[in-house]
Chain A
Amino acid sequence: MNTEVHQLTNILPCGYIITSQQGIINYVNNFMLKLLHYPDNYVLNKTTALSDLLPMGVKVYFETHLNPILIVQGHINEVSLDLKRSDGVLVPVLVNAKCIFNKNATIANIHYTFFDISQRKKFESELLLASQKQEQLINSLKQSNNDFVKITEELERTKNYYKNQNEINKHISKVGKVGGWEIDLITGLLTWSDVTKEIHEINKNEQPDLAKGIGFFKEGPDRERITSTVLKCIKTTEPFDEELQIITANGTQKWVRVLGFAEATLKQVTLHKSHLHLKAPENSLQTIRLYGTFQDIDKQKNMMLQLEQNNSNIKKDNAYLNSIIENNSFYIIKTDLEGNYTYFNPYFIKMLGVNSDDWMGKNSLGLIIPEDHNLCIDVVNLCFKQPEKSHYVTLRKPALNEIVTNQWEFTLLKDEDGNFFEFLCIGYEITPLIKKQEELKKLLDITSIQNTRLQNFTHIVSHNIRSHVANLRGIINITDVEDIEERTIAWKMIKNTVTLLDETIYNLNEIIHVQTVTQLPIVSINISHEINRVIKGLRLLIVDTKTQFYFNFDKYDTLNSNVAYFESIVLNLITNAIKYKSADSPPQIHIGLQTIAHFKVLSIKDNGLGLDLKQYGDKLFGMYKTFHGNKDAKGLGLFISKTQIEAMGGKIEMESNPGQGSTLKVYFPENQLRTIK
């Protein structure tokens, strides 16, 4: 290798290695030595192979994947791997390599470049960490969802319990049929009203006597009880009220309520012969008549018994559920139809710090934040509209020190006559769930911003740097090293390109040094200077395609942008203009500047193929969209430009017609300056 090229590779801001086809290192530049922590101008052993610079695992990957691809394909681009420094520390790099072939198509040597990507790795691990955190959050969200499902199930059971109790109450309050009865101890006659006969299920013509009447009571305790009660009443004239079971004429067992009163006299009376044994002692009250009511309470009684049973079941089997109803886990409140509180459970009082006395009878909207009042009223209306089912709503309440979010279920209850009666509202707190969702959303936003920035960054690395490297490669390829004059020109061109490359890398560093998401440095830049820099970087392509540029702005004009983003956007748009040139004439690119509202608008107008915006308009700036069937098109350029200008608070627009070229307008906001110390 001659001295000039040697010098040249030594000022490249990346590692440079040339190996034989067998992988033995023939040349290594100073940057590479520095990267590997060798002293400057250190001479590697003549048998050192590239794979000797790799850690063991990477060697295997190199031998089994990269080397085969390189030899078959002639090049590899942007492969990420670790190098082993002289002190054993691993340094992550991005490798590009190209085989140089002899005239007989065998490989002469292989040129490698190594870019240090320690910073990018940091980005990547940051991203990875964020996505892991996200995964964890999602899991904990799932867990709390499960918990809520469990609570909802308990809620359902509680609700059913309330429903049953309500049913029972309705039945109890329905008054059963009441009949009358009378025993005349003088005539000895027992008289039953029609209803009483009906309850006993006997014919209306029939008139049973006392013994028969007593006989309807269920044998055993019931019959003994009525007998003794009646006797006691005759004796003491005190009224009685008993609930007992009878067996009707049809054999049906029924609960009845019997009320009895005595009519007595001090006069001497003669009792009927069958009641002689009921004669009161002398000078005391003689009962002559018993009368009272007879009521069928079978349904009510059975309901009551069932309720007792239920209650004891719940107590016995499910003390846990009971405790929920009483105070745990749920808010249970009732309001009247106007929404005034009629009941709070203790949990509601405790959790929301509500003083029961202050709020009882007050309107429940008072405990809901004003923003949610309409929500609440809507659900109440819905309950009136569709009273057959429950309705759900999420409402926020001011609690002790914060606002809590509760999920509520409203049920409109009816009284025994079927009239709307009151609201039963059961609720539980979902504040932690809401908080977690918000946290997750925030994290997702951050992750996606990070992702976009990483994409932009990676794009710039591969795009901006690539154009300089392509330039260098082109200059080296077309230069005849034997021709001194040509060599001098090439040397100058290479020097220029390296200066540009250095500037690009400086700008990238600026982005890298910014650690927070929001602080992309934005400075005032000289448009003419920056655009000329990009154009110089594209020199070979421009000369090749005979592209002409027309600047319609002053050389002192400035706008505010991140330098690397500006470079990337302009590079993209100019490259596009050239790439999609018309087949008939060389590209002419007009670059103009105007001020619209608070934007500086850079317009890039070409005379290229143009495209039908009606057909493609909405897809233009999407990812992986290509429109001309051009093989090189990857469909990323416009997408990346759009994300970059948007990251700076601007926008990008396109005007175009097929066959009439395109104009891209990039809006840079004026009031955005951010410098980083």
Chain B
Amino acid sequence: MLIKKNNIHIIGEGNEVLFFIHGYGCDQNMWRYITPAFVQQYKIVLIDLVGSGKSDIAVYDFEKYNTLQGYADDVIEICDFFNFKNINLIGHSVSAMTAALVAINRPQLCKNLIMVCPSPCYLNDDGYNGGFALSDIDEMLATMQHNYLGWSSAIAPVIVGNPEKPEYAEELAQSFCRNNPEIAKHFALVTFKGDSRTCLPKITTPTLILQCSNDILAPLEVGNYVSNHIKHSTLKVLKATGHCPHLTTPAETIAAIKHYLDKS
């Protein structure tokens, strides 16, 4: 039941847990270039947040998932169910804040926190530069809505000379980043209108912050803010640009994570 709910996958030969939480828009497949580097040494836990990927959409509860705490509760439930202890919790983007909530709720559960491109608040606020205005969020929702209209996917062409591609990619394409429109919209609002800034000082777990050089969603300024408000934090600025270094420059990302985990 729980496994179906979050589409949980546990792989790897180690004992120490490396728990990955994907961010807004995608699912656990985001980590596919990262995980092979850790399977020898760690027990790797991959989940799809409820409402994303191949999770059980039927249990999506608009009230529960109206704040990130809903997702954090799910992570804690999974850890308790499998009796995980001393885990290394990796969260991307908005889920870095979900990971932070887990660490605040259950400090003993978490050995390390790793935040990939975190942002505690995307909207600009008095004296805080999150990078976004409300109208930007609406624009994004409209673009999303337009692609859900489905002219393109409904009228999928009978392709002549379709480039060959691996089987898994075909299968992957069915679900990856293709979420239920209503849920995707709700998650977008929770993500982009949320404000978790007051959480940061409550984190006592050692934390690695991976920051990209040029990330529209999480500018350097936001990385510094996060780092300055978490007690035991290390800020690592990657050469990678964009918002998904684990996809675009997996080698650099792996090296940064390994370096940090080995040191601790």
Contact = CB atoms under 8 A, between A and B. Distances in A.
B1 interface: no
11 contacts: A58-B140, A58-B143, A63-B216, A63-B242, A64-B25, A73-B169, A75-B163, A466-B159, A467-B160, A470-B161, A572-B158
A403 to B, nearest CB: 42
A590 B242 CA distance: 54
Contacts of B165: 73-75
A23 interface: yes
Interface in A25-76: 49, 51, 55-61, 63-69, 71-75
Contacts of B249: 22
A80 interface: yes
Nearest to B131: A56
A459 interface: yes
Interface of A: 21-24, 49, 51, 55-61, 63-69, 71-75, 77-82, 94, 98, 120, 124, 454-455, 458-459, 462-463, 466-467, 470-471, 473-474, 538, 540-541, 572, 575, 579, 632-634, 636-637
A69 B176 contact: yes
B83 interface: no
A61 B140 contact: yes
Given A58-B143, A72-B29, A471 B161 contact: yes
Interface in B214-264: 214, 216-217, 240-244, 247-249
B55 to A, nearest CB: 17
A64 B144 CA distance: 11
B152 A73 contact: no
Contact of B240 (A22, A57, A64): A22
B216 A636 contact: no
B136 interface: yes
For this complex, into which size category does the number of interface residues on chain B fall? 35 or more
Given A61-B143, A63-B244, A470-B160, A68 B155 contact: no
A60 B140 contact: yes
Nearest to A578: B160
A242 B192 CA distance: 92
Contact of B247 (A56, A72, A75, A637): A72
From B32, B155, B177, residue with most partner A Cβ within 10 Å: B155
B250 to A, nearest CB: 9
Given A24-B241, A575-B158, 17 more contacts: A23-B241, A56-B216, A57-B139, A57-B141, A64-B23, A67-B244, A67-B247, A68-B176, A72-B176, A73-B165, A94-B152, A458-B152, A462-B152, A462-B157, A463-B157, A466-B157, A467-B161
Contacts of A634: 156-158
From A21, A56, A64, A78, residue with most partner B Cβ within 10 Å: A64
B155 A458 contact: yes
A599 to B, nearest CB: 26
Contacts of A71: 244, 247-248
Given A71-B247, A73-B169, A79 B147 contact: yes
A525 to B, nearest CB: 22
Contacts of A633: 158
Contacts of A455: 155
A637 B216 CA distance: 42
Contacts of A82: 143
B172 interface: yes
B59 interface: no
A49 B214 contact: yes
Contacts of B133: 56
Nearest to B142: A57
A644 to B, nearest CB: 13
Q: Which 4 A-B pairs have the closest CB atoms?
A: A57-B139, A64-B25, A78-B152, A57-B140
A63 B139 contact: no
A68 B247 contact: yes
B62 to A, nearest CB: 20
Contacts of A77: 152
A466 B173 contact: no
Nearest to A477: B163
Contacts of B248: 21-22, 67, 71
Interface string B122-152: 0000000000110111111111101101011
B30 interface: yes
B159 A632 contact: yes
Contacts of B140: 56-58, 60-61
A68 B178 CA distance: 11
Nearest to A68: B26
Contact of A466 (B25, B139, B160): B160
A459 B155 contact: yes
B198 interface: no
Contact of B136 (A23, A57, A459): A57
Contacts of A63: 216-217, 242-244
Contacts of B243: 63-64, 67
From A58, A98, A454, residue with most partner B Cβ within 10 Å: A58
Contact of B177 (A58, A60, A69, A124): A69
Nearest to B192: A60
Given A57-B137, A73-B173, A68 B161 contact: no
Given A60-B140, A74-B169, A458 B151 contact: yes
Contacts of B137: 57, 60
Contacts of B214: 49
Nearest to B30: A68
A486 to B, nearest CB: 19
Contacts of B30: 68, 72
Interface in B20-34: 23-26, 29-30, 32
Contact of A538 (B160, B163, B192, B216): B160
A455 B30 CA distance: 34
Contacts of B155: 455, 458-459, 462, 636
A562 to B, nearest CB: 18
Contacts of B156: 462, 634, 636
Contacts of B172: 72-73
A466 B31 CA distance: 32
A65 B30 CA distance: 11
A80 B152 contact: yes
A61 B25 CA distance: 8
Contact of A65 (B29, B149, B177): B177
B151 A60 contact: no
A124 B152 CA distance: 13
Contact of A68 (B136, B241, B244): B244
Given A23-B242, A64-B25, A463 B158 contact: yes
